Amino acid sequence: MVPIRTVRSLRPDRVGMTVIAMLSVAPVIEDSMASEVANAVDALDSHDVRYETNPMGTVIEADDIDTLLAAVADAHKAVDADRVSTFLKVDDKRTSDQAAADKVAAVEDVLGRTATNDR
């Protein structure tokens, strides 16, 4: 299993985050995409968002949809390639605050264990 490197932790101790998204930005190339993906992740730091990168993408949390979409736009623009593929899935809870960590905790409560396996 590939270890997950947390770029910037999603902390469940901060309240008020209501928009959660899964973002994947990558150049369409044959070689390694790591440096361009790193550029996209680095672009998120100029925004008031929290994020965590995993092997399949980056989970982002923001206070509102405008903040989230501005961060996503900058991440997309940060990739220097002739063709860029961006996938975005957004959960915009408008009537309650729920952090990404809360969603994972709810699943783990039902499982009765952590939602990971080191096989």
User: Has residue 22 got a pLDDT over 70?
Assistant: yes
What distance in Å separates the CA atoms of residue 32 and residue 61, rounded to the nearest whole number?
27
In a domain, 61, yes or no: yes
Instruction: Tell me whether residue 54 is in a domain.
Output: yes
Confidence of residue 2 (pLDDT cuts 50, 70, 90): very low
Cβ atoms of 18 and 63 within 8 Å: the answer is yes
Q: What is the mean pLDDT of residues 28-44?
A: 90
- Mean pLDDT over the full length of the chain: 83
Stretch 18-40: mean pLDDT = 90
Q: Is the pTM of this model over 0.85?
A: no
User: What is the number of alpha carbons within 13 Å of residue 66 lying toward its C-beta?
Assistant: 0
Q: Is the pLDDT of residue 106 over 90?
A: no
Number of domains in the chain: 1
How far is Cα 104 from Cα 74, in angstroms, rounded to an integer?
27
Give the pLDDT of residue 42.
Answer: 95
Instruction: Pick 106 or 64 by higher pLDDT.
Output: 64
In a domain, 39, yes or no: yes
Rounded to 5°, angle at Cα 69 from 5 and 38: 30
Name which of 80, 81, 77, 92 is nearest 47 in CA terms: 77
Residue 11 lies in a domain: no
**Does any domain span residue 25?**
yes
Domain containing 45 equals: 19-111
pLDDT (tens digit per residue) in 55-102: 899 999 999 999 999 999 999 999 998 999 999 999 987 777 778 788
Q: Is residue 103 part of a domain?
A: yes
Residue-level pLDDT at 17:
54
